[in-house]
Amino acid sequence: MPFPTLPAPIAQALEAQGYAEPTPVQAAVVAPEAEGRDLLVSAQTGSGKTVAFGIAMADRMLAEGKGHFLPAPLALVIAPTRELALQVSRELAWLYGKTGMRIATCVGGMDPSRERRTLQQGAQIVVGTPGRLRDHLERGALDLSALAHVVLDEADEMLDMGFREDLEEILDASPAERRTLLFSATMPKPIEALAKRYQRDALRISTVSDTRGHGDISYEAVAVAPADIEGAVINLLRFHEAETAILFCATRDSVRRLHSSLVERGFAAVALSGEHSQSERNNALQALRDGRARICVATDVAARGIDVPSLSLVIHVELPRDAEVLQHRSGRTGRAGRKGIAALIVPYPRRRRVEGLLRVARVNVQWIEVPTAEVIRERDRARLLEALQAPVEATDGERETAEQLVATMDPMAMALALVQAQKKGIPEPEELISQSPADARTQSGHREGFEDTVWFHMDIGRRQNADPRWLLPLICRRGHITRNEIGAIRIAATETFFQIPRAIADRFAEALRRTGQAGAEDETGITIQASTESPREMARERRPARGGYEGRHGNGPRGNDGEQRPPHRGKPGFKPKPKGRTERRPS
């Protein structure tokens, strides 16, 4: 259906942007029953919410504020993050561009003095984050006395981020007769309490489907061994070859590690987390928009407000904490009628929990195998043939060059050169350790090809937080081998042992020497060298003589991997309590 009757400048702006008909949420907010009322709206990410509240405010905004200098704004839009506030400001700028209205943006990370000057010069619409708006309010730079509209965008996320006090102070300072529009992807009890306190006779609008999390998103899930998570990320990226993808991690450290690993492998990737400055964030987003980067590794909060039209793939590298976070993350793709894929990487031990999460989120998921290196290479060949067989528009100069090549080169040599040129810069897929739970081995177990092995020793262990998830990629990088060439791994308190097939041990040791740097603070400073003895033999040698440690059966303590441990240095040996009554010491 076409848009209902709107003020001429707004209708012209929508037509210029290619809007032929409203989305469900846009149609609902301008319906006759919604006119002039407070609105409590539940709508999915990417459903056109910004345009929805923009057109909902239009009649009154144009009647009271068009072409006039106003010392106080008529509309205030509050968003949880800088990126989302800036995105909202850009959307309202084109929507109200023909009305002559001024829009001021107030967000953290920007120059507050410049924002205050903009507010003093007069702005009909103010968009900002809760903390910065509260700061301007307390300093007297933001006058809310004339507000006709207050919009809370993604209110659930603002409460989750701890902005309740900021929101309450801002709303308490605004006129009681204002119109309050509250938009939230979910409606938990804190949101309902906020609406009850600050809204009057609000109309409840919901455009969220009860059957699926999002109609334009296909959900995929892959179950992997914990040590294969990073390899699964790489293979999913290579399999789908999305124009733009977002990878979600839970912490800043995870973002930093994964981003570094992807860049090292040749992916054009940027990172977004709380440790990045506003300038760095702006540069990262611009790199995604103009195609210089195709992958963004981000935390949940940092990815708020990202709106990249070419985004078609979301990978949940670390699992979301609940169904709402799953939908928020996945909603970065599948926008405005476009198709998107949301892939979850699920460690084997957590599959049952994820299945419960998906039931709560009401999404249909397809469990698939992680694409293998051979499957990816076959898909690469198909993509290459499709690209080369597509019609080509060429200039006269290009045709002349092509004719010279045909006349001087062997067809096979020319085809090979073309194939190699097309493949240049494309990262290699990963050879995963295992494809099923039964094959997932990181601590022990016999594998074909490991009948004759050499033990290697590393000078880090559990006390340095060593675990297979980052040990395996480290060994591969340092030794220039694949994960399939690493056998059993034994992690002790301060050291780690692992097996390498004897056939490649010399080559592996030579690579270690080239990539090592004694005393370095990064991974190149970790000492890795061949061990003349197995972990069990070394444990026996380090076991104290009889009498130095009197444990059960005369043996030392055992670690989680079953290997025997020597007692801690400097601690007295354990002595069993004497049989019979034990005297209690006076307290």
Judged against a pLDDT cut of 70, whether residue 561 lies above it is answered with no
The per-residue pLDDT for 216 is 77
Q: Is residue 49 part of a domain?
A: yes
The pLDDT confidence band at residue 440, using thresholds 50, 70 and 90, is: very low
Q: Is residue 18 part of a domain?
A: yes
The per-residue pLDDT for 185 is 75
| Last residue within a domain, chosen from 374, 402, 422 | 374
The per-residue pLDDT for 92 is 94
pTM of the model: 0.53
Q: Which residue has the higher pLDDT, 393 or 124?
A: 124
Structure-token pair, residue 204: 């409840």
Q: Which residue has the higher pLDDT, 334 or 543?
A: 334
What helix, strand, coil percent values describe the chain, rounded to 5?
40, 15, 40
Q: Smallest Cα–Cα separation from 344: which of 336, 353, 335?
A: 353
Clarify whether residues 359 and 445 are in a common domain.
no
The per-residue pLDDT for 64 is 77
Q: 84: left (phi > 0), else alpha (psi -120 to 50), else beta?
A: alpha
The pLDDT confidence band at residue 66, using thresholds 50, 70 and 90, is: low
Judged against a pLDDT cut of 50, whether residue 581 lies above it is answered with no
3-class DSSP string for 60-92: HHHHHHCCCCCCCCCEEEECCCHHHHHHHHHHH
Q: Is residue 524 part of a domain?
A: yes
Clarify whether residues 222 and 368 are in a common domain.
yes
Compute, in degrees rounded to 10, the torsion defined by CA atoms 357, 361, 364, 370.
Answer: -40
Clarify whether residues 201 and 232 are in a common domain.
no
Clarify whether residues 66 and 190 are in a common domain.
yes
Clarify whether residues 188 and 227 are in a common domain.
no
Judged against a pLDDT cut of 60, whether residue 553 lies above it is answered with no
Q: Is residue 24 part of a domain?
A: yes
The per-residue pLDDT for 240 is 92
Residue-range definition of the domain harbouring residue 190? 8-206
Average pLDDT over residues 5-19: 87
Clarify whether residues 324 and 231 are in a common domain.
yes
| Last residue within a domain, chosen from 335, 355, 374 | 374
Judged against a pLDDT cut of 60, whether residue 447 lies above it is answered with no
**Counted domains in the chain:** 3
Clarify whether residues 274 and 187 are in a common domain.
no
